[in-house]
Amino acid sequence: MNIAVVGTGYVGLVSGTCFAESGNEVICVDIDRSRIEALSTGTIPIYEPGLQELVRRNIKERRLSFICDLEAAVAQSMVSFIAVGTPMRADGSADLNGVLTVAQDIARIAQGYHIIAIKSTVPVGTNDRVRERLKAAANARIDVCSVPEFLKEGSAVEDFMRPDRVVIGSSSDEATAILREIHAPFVRTDNPILVMHPRSAELTKYASNAMLALRISFINQMANLCEAVGAEINDVRRGMGADRRIGSQFLFPGVGYGGSCFPKDVQALIHSAAEHQLEFTMLKATDEVNVQQKRLIVERVKQHFGRDLNGRTFAIWGLAFKPRTDDMREAPSLVVIEELLKAGARVQVHDPEALENARRTFGERVTYHRTNYEALSNADALIILTEWNEFRHPNFQRIRAELREPVIFDGRNLYDPGLMKALEFRYYSIGRRPI
């Protein structure tokens, strides 16, 4: 099938590439000419395991192309997926200008029957708004549907190719049949394609992310309570997770969640509830806990070294909000580094993939290091903020030799406290007794 994907950001690029990998002819469209030129040569602007290889293979086999010409892309396609950004406004609502503008442009171009499938994360009621806008613009018979994405950065290709479920929000039997056909190759193991009203599909995306964010904030508060009463959060977490009604996923304590989805989607759902005179108290608390958790490590640092950090140097391992991505949007590292700099400290950073993004954020205010051990040189302590695999089993003798003091602040609970005690490190983690 011929498919257009409008927007070559994270969602659009992964979606378009995976659709092409399943045999469709896909044209990806973006207004950023330099991005399109780079993508056309197989150079992708993000780090996502396995994606670049798929992009290059499908370009070579002529199933995937990248252009700036929306008219040409829509003219050749029966389905146009909208995957443009919906950034958060100051009041927490989602900015839908991009989605609405692209939908109107597609409607003016399309001839005959056409499906506009919204993959962008949009608040409930967006399908209705788009259909209302298209009444005057459309020259063709157009169905508007919602097909939200459920991709995790770092495993997005796997998530798309083998999804837990596909959600299709559609009020048209014809559009539903076509969208089912497009997504059928990805659910051959009988994971469900769930067809529902567009409003339910829109809300499903927000509800899913909000629930995951809530779990993270809950386990972080439990970790703080464990420290206060002398319990061990890993024991508590395992005890909870063994209950099949609860499960163990997203119950790992740390320094808070980040990324492009959870913070924005929690705020958008709070805003949607407020528009209907509902107080989403639980999600407000989820967000508040997350904001506090990002400052926890710096408070621990100040408790150990004193409030004035002038003359102190700290090594930071991990800048991305999670491993296997270079994405630093809303990452805990942003808060931690700013707080350390404000207190007068010097900061030396390392991340396997996010150094260039960090450089664009912090400029020359911190120093950047190609390896994790280089970042340790003459630092007073090591702070770990992202659970990259290469940080899990380091050379502790080398860490000790490089640091001025054998102190580690572990925001991801990577190390065994017993080992840290045996190696005579001062070790602070989350929800466990300090060593």
- Which residue numbers are catalytic? 261
Phi-psi region of 330 (alpha: psi -120 to 50; beta: other; left: phi over 0): left
Amino acid at 152: K
Determine the Cα–Cα distance for residues 417 and 274; give it in Å rounded to an integer.
Answer: 44
Quote the CA–CA distance of 298 and 292 in Å, as a whole number.
11
CA-based diameter of the chain, in Å?
A: 73
Q: For residue 117, give the 3-state DSSP assignment.
A: strand
Residues sharing a CB contact under 8 Å with residue 278, sequence separation 6 or more, in sequence order? none
| 343 burial via Cβ count (<10 Å: 0-12, 13-18, 19+) | middle
Whether the CB-CB separation of 206 and 268 falls below 8 Å is answered with yes
- d(CA 95, CA 88) in angstroms, rounded, equals 6
Number of other residues whose CB lies within 10 A of the CB of residue 279: 10
CA 16 – CA 12 distance, rounded (Å)? 6
Decide: helix, strand or coil at residue 87. Answer: coil
Q: What phi and psi values does residue 367 have, to the nearest 5 degrees?
A: -110, 145
